[in-house]
Amino acid sequence: MASDTDQEDFSFGEMFEEPAGYLPPPPPSKLVEYTRPSPLDPRTIKINLLGTHPLWGHHLWNASKVFASYIDANPQTVRNKSVLELGAAGALPSMIACAQKARRIVVTDYPDADLLQNIQTTIDLNFPRSPIISVAGHLWGHNIENILELNGNQKYNVLVLCDLVFNHSEHAALMRSVLGLLEKDGRAFVVFTHHRPWLVEQDLKFLERAQSEGLVCERILEEYTGAMFDDDPGDERVRGTVHGFVLSYPVIVAD
């Protein structure tokens, strides 16, 4: 057998690499504003969004806006509590949690430098130098200890999952994170839209999985917002409706 040094190099080197400047630059990031009801302060939350991203982190999803409104209408949801947002993207619910005086907030998304820096930019735009909010990368189902360390090695009172259940192949990993990070008397808020109406049953399997793990599932909201993408296929009413559920451990009543 020939040694590695004797083998021919069948790589094509730079033959098929695009010359500098061949590919167009990515779209620039953009700033969007979310307006809260008067007289809430701050009235406006600034959200920095990437120009594009393969993990869909460049959109401010309707589910996040609806849940942000829910928090403002029900501030006890987060007040004086530890809050962890998974797959945060624009991180609007985390910003509202900070405004509503949560005790500790950790904002997570896939450990991609652009995603995480974008979230940090949003934090700096709204709550610069705040000691209660931080951002971290988190691959669902892995390195849960790192996320616990950011909350004093304690599990979280509140988990936020906005528009994540469409990622069917990651349901098991996402559930591992929920089970590993939610404290026994905590609540996990799962808010989403059926962006592909023909896959409604697949979306809902995440809630079925939660129930099979012993969690109680309760609907808390349903709101029509209009579809995120007008040209997508499928029933617009289905694509334009946000659903919200809360997961919790069953209450054990002492004898």
Q: pLDDT tens digits for 216-227?
A: 999 999 999 999
* 244, two tokens: 């919200």
20: pLDDT strictly greater than 90 = no
How many CB atoms sit inside 10 A of residue 45's CB? Answer: 23
Q: What mean pLDDT comes out for the span 12-32? A: 64
Give residue-wise pLDDT tens across range 107-148: 999 999 999 999 999 999 999 999 999 999 999 999 999 999
Reply yes or no: is the peptide bond before residue 28 cis, omega within 30 of 0.
Answer: no
Q: What is the mean pLDDT of the chain?
A: 90
Give residue-wise pLDDT tens across range 146-189: 999 999 999 999 999 999 999 999 999 999 999 999 999 999 99
Among 15-29, 73-87, 132-146, 200-214, the minimum mean pLDDT is found in 15-29
Using an 8 Å Cβ cutoff, are 79 and 102 in contact? Answer: yes
Q: SS3 for 39?
A: coil
Helix axes 171-181, 200-212, angle to 10 degrees: 40
Q: What mean pLDDT comes out for the span 42-52? A: 89
Note the pTM of the prediction, 2 decimals. 0.88
Biggest alpha carbon–alpha carbon distance for the chain? 78
Q: Which residues contact 180 (CB under 8 A, 6 or more apart)?
A: 144, 155
Characterize the bridge pairing of strands 241-248 and 182-193.
antiparallel
